[in-house]
Amino acid sequence: MTFHLKSITGRKALAGLTALAMALSSTVALAADKLQYFTWSGYELPDFNKSFLAAHPDGVEATIFGDDDDAFTKVKAGFRPDIAHPCYDKVARWNKEGLLQPIDTKRIKNWDSIFPVFKNLPDLQAGDGKVWMVPWDWGNTSILYRTDLVKNPEASWNLLWDKQYAGRMATIDAVHDTPIVAALLAGVNPFDMTPDQMEKVAAKLREQRPLLSSYTTDMTSVEQALASGQLVAAMTWNASATSLKKQGVPVEFMKPKEGMLTWACGFVMLKDAKNVDLAYDFINSRLDADSGKFLIQSYGYGSSLSTAFAGVSKEELDKLQLPADPDVMLKSTIFTGPMKQNDDMAKMFEKVKAGG
Q: What is the pLDDT of residues 266-289, one digit of tens each?
A: 999 999 999 999 999 999 999 999
Residue 319 to residue 297: CA distance in whole angstroms: 10
Residue 78 to residue 345: CA distance in whole angstroms: 24
pLDDT at 168 over 80: yes
Residue 316, H or E segment? helix 314-319
pLDDT at 354 over 50: yes
Lowest mean pLDDT among 26-35, 68-77, 227-236, 316-325: 26-35
Residue 256: predicted pLDDT: 98
Residue 32: predicted pLDDT: 55
Beta bridge partners, 252, equal 145
Residue, of 21 and 85, whose pLDDT is higher: 85
Burial class of 50 by CB neighbour count within 10 A (0 to 12, 13 to 18, 19+): middle
Residue 105 to residue 277: CA distance in whole angstroms: 13
Residue range 303-331: mean pLDDT, rounded: 96
Residue 20: predicted pLDDT: 38
Q: Which residues contact 2 (CB under 8 A, 6 or more apart)?
A: none
Question: CA 79, 82, 85, 86: dihedral to nearest 10 degrees?
Answer: 50
Residue range 146-150: mean pLDDT, rounded: 98
pLDDT at 195 over 80: yes
Residue 259 vs residues 152, 155, 200: alpha-carbon distances, Å: 18, 10, 20
Residue 293: predicted pLDDT: 98
Q: Is 259 helix (H, G, I), strand (E, B) or coil?
A: coil
pLDDT at 5 over 70: no
pLDDT at 14 over 60: no
Residue range 29-44: mean pLDDT, rounded: 82
- Give me the percent of the chain exceeding a pLDDT of 70: 91
Query: b/e for 143-157, b at 16 or more Cβ within 10 A?
Result: bbbbeeebeebeeeb
pTM as predicted: 0.87
Residue 7: predicted pLDDT: 33
Q: Backbone dihedral region of 173: left (phi > 0), alpha (psi from -120 to 50 degrees) or beta?
A: beta
Q: Which amino acid is at 75?
A: V
**Residue 179: how many other CB atoms lie within 10 Å:** 25
Residue 135: predicted pLDDT: 98
Residue 253 to residue 140: CA distance in whole angstroms: 10
Residue range 144-167: mean pLDDT, rounded: 97
With cut-offs at 50, 70 and 90, classify the pLDDT of residue 33.
confident
Residue range 40-65: mean pLDDT, rounded: 96
Residue 25: predicted pLDDT: 39
Residue, of 204 and 15, whose pLDDT is higher: 204
Q: Please, what is the average pLDDT of the chain?
A: 91
